[in-house]
């Protein structure tokens, strides 16, 4: 049998590549003669650049950049060439991600995306990228992309003509924006499945702010700061992108990329699936193994494993999904996407234990699924 291991990451436990290896090891422990191909997936969040770099045999570019609070850190992005087109793949979480901060350091008022802008500027001017794919997800920021704009050379000025720090704490003082004189930006594709606008009850601050350290009393001031910023952007740059689906992604970095770079939002899963030739890989296999840390309502809203399951179904291939957690209220719907929905633990388990033992549990779950087939049973909806 030809098996394709195409999972997403198991957040806080396993990367996509590690999860794929665990699925392969578990399966081969029962069927050592089967061919198992590892092709982990992503939807624009953490791990996207690594997955694309591996699939396209790209290279890594390393440089110093600023973390969300302005400290210099080492960061990297991927690069590959296809048909003479040099493409850079950047994850905003690499340098502006929540993982860069300790819990007590999280500050929506002070964090910025300047570091992501520094990676982007390096890809434009030093690498000479002709196309850029920028994955949004896991951000520690809520600056509407103001930090990215500042790194690219846009001047954020107060009434006295002095530059202001590009953070929500200082955006209320923004009086005008000046364009850089010599910035030429290649096509930028935003890899994200978030459809939230910049502002409002479904906006960046309201929906994602709390997980980044936003306190209840800060919500109104931060929302007002972003609204003022969006007004100045519209007046000085002539672009209204605050209501564009995806503008609220990564604390409004989607808005910044749409506004300052003329970027295009694409489905993260579909874009990455195309880059790694996922459809061809599924056509060549008999069974697909996928999964992620939590199979839940968000899975059904366009996340990677559901995309794998639906593509496998369209191509007439069986697909089993493994989850560290499977939410009972959506299990019936999940079974319309996957041929089998399998928990990685054989029984009830604490979340902390599931995370700590993720690799062992996933290997054992893949072996159980293989033994199930060895007994003559089939994976059916």
pLDDT tens digit sequence for 327-343: 889 888 999 999 999 99
Which pLDDT band, with edges at 50, 70 and 90, does 379 fall under?
low
What pLDDT score was predicted for residue 99? 94
pLDDT score of 114 more than 70? yes
Alpha-carbon dihedral 155, 169, 210, 66, rounded to 10 degrees:
50
Whole-structure pTM value: 0.90
How far is the C-alpha of 129 from the C-alpha of 149, rounded, in Å? 18
Would the pLDDT of 191 be above 50?
yes
> Comparing C-alpha atoms, which of 66, 43, 86, 10 is closest to residue 276?
43
Per the DSSP assignment, residues forming a β-bridge with 322 are 291, 342
Q: Are strands 131-135 and 188-191 parallel, antiparallel or unpaired?
A: parallel
CB 269 within 8 A of CB 41: yes
Say what the alpha-carbon torsion angle 69, 75, 81, 85 is, to the nearest 10 degrees. 20
What is the percent of the chain where pLDDT is above 70?
98
In the block, which residue shows the tokens 């007590």?
104
Please check whether the domain covering 48-268 is classified as CATH 3.90.1510.10.
yes
DSSP state of 64: E
Q: Hey, what are 2's tokens?
A: 């030809």
Question: What three-state secondary structure class fits 141?
Answer: coil
CATH class given for the domain over 2-41+277-374: alpha beta
Determine the average pLDDT of the residues in 258-281.
95
State how far Cα 244 lies from the chain centre: 19
Domain range list for the chain? 2-41+277-374, 48-268
Average the pLDDT over 20-44 and give the result. 96
Q: Which two tokens stand for residue 45?
A: 């969040």
Tokens of 102: 């300790």
């Amino acid at each position: 049998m030809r098996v394709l291991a195409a999972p997403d990451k198991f957040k806080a436990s396993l990367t996509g590549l590690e999860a794929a290896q665990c699925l392969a090891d578990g399966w081969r422990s029962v069927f050592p003669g089967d061919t198992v191909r590892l092709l982990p997936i992503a939807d624009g969040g953490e791990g996207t650049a690594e997955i694309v770099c591996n699939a396209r045999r790209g290279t890594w570019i390393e440089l110093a950049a600023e973390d969300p609070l302005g400290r210099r850190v080492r960061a990297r992005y991927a690069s590959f060439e296809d048909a003479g087109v040099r493409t850079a793949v950047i994850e905003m979480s690499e340098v502006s991600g929540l993982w860069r901060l300790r819990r007590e350091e999280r500050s929506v008022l002070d964090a910025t995306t300047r570091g992501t802008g520094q990676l982007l500027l390096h890809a434009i001017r030093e690498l000479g990228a002709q196309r850029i794919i920028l994955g949004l997800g896991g951000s520690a920021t809520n600056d509407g992309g103001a930090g990215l704009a500042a790194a690219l050379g846009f001047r954020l000025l107060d009434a006295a003509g002095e530059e202001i720090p590009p953070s929500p704490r200082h955006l209320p003082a923004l009086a005008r924006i000046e364009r850089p004189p010599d910035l030429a930006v290649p096509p930028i594709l935003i890899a994200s499945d978030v459809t939230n606008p910049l502002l409002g009850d479904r906006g960046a601050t309201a929906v994602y702010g709390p997980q980044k350290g936003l306190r209840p009393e800060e919500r109104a001031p931060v929302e007002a700061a972003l609204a003022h910023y969006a007004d100045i952007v519209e007046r000085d740059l002539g672009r209204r992108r605050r209501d564009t689906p995806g503008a609220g992604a990564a604390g409004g970095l989607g808005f910044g990329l749409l506004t300052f770079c003329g970027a295009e939002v694409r489905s993260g899963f579909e874009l990455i699936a195309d880059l790694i030739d996922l459809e061809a890989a599924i056509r060549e296999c008999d069974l697909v193994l996928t999964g992620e840390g939590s199979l839940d309502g968000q899975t059904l809203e366009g996340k990677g494993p559901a995309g794998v399951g639906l593509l496998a179904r369209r191509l007439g291939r069986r697909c089993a999904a493994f989850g560290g957690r499977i939410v009972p209220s959506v299990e019936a719907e999940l079974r319309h996407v996957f041929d089998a929905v399998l928990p990685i633990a054989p029984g009830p388990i604490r979340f902390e234990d599931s995370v700590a033992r993720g690799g062992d549990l996933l290997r054992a779950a893949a072996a159980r699924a293989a033994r199930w087939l060895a007994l003559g049973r089939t994976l059916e909806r």
